[in-house]
Structure 1
Amino acid sequence: MEYLQPPAGTLTTSMAALSADVEPATIRDWVRRGILTRCGGTPKRPVYRIDDVKAARTAAKPNRPGQRSVKAA
């Protein structure tokens, strides 16, 4: 069951994705890559601190071997 209201100062995965203007899969990828850390919730319904989501959005993302680079236009 999704939170009706997550704990104060935190965001669910869906809310974090909306806040960072990315897909929920990107939030999960940031966690897997160590860019963002869960601060509570359950294994299936994690929550993240608002400040951590903001920091992850602007953090330098490490490249993976074989990853395509995105070039600015």
Structure 2
Amino acid sequence: MEYIALPPGLVTTSMAARACDVAPATIRDWVRRGILTRCGGTPKRPIYRLADVTKARTAAKPCRPGQRGAAAA
């Protein structure tokens, strides 16, 4: 079930994923990692600010040593 109508500037997980050209799981991962925060909705149907989503897309992603993309020590 999707929302019937959202206020301007707010998007669902699937809409955010389409806006960033990533999978919905990536949006959920950004939330889990603290790169993106929810601005409302329900636990199963969160909503996000579109401006926050676009900032998260270009934000530096934290990574652990030994992970792909991590700088060699």
Amino acid at match of 2:67: Q
Deviations 1:30-59 (A, max 9, x none): 000000000000000000001000100000
Counterparts of 1:1-73 in structure 2, within 5 Å, are 1-69=1-69
Task: Please state how far the C-alpha of 1:6 moved relative to its aligned partner.
Answer: 2.1
Q: RMSD of the TM alignment (CA)?
A: 1.4
- The separation in 2 between residues aligned to 1:65 and 1:5, in whole angstroms, is 43
> What is the SS of the residue equivalent to 1:37?
coil
> What is the SS of the residue equivalent to 2:5?
coil
Query: Bigger CA drift: 6-15 or 23-32?
Result: 6-15
Deviations 1:2-45 (A, max 9, x none): 11222221000000000011100000000000000000000000
Task: Please state how far the C-alpha of 1:67 moved relative to its aligned partner.
Answer: 1.7
Query: Structure 1 length normalisation: TM-score?
Result: 0.87
List runs of 5+ in structure 2 lacking aligned partners: none
- The separation in 2 between residues aligned to 1:29 and 1:12, in whole angstroms, is 14
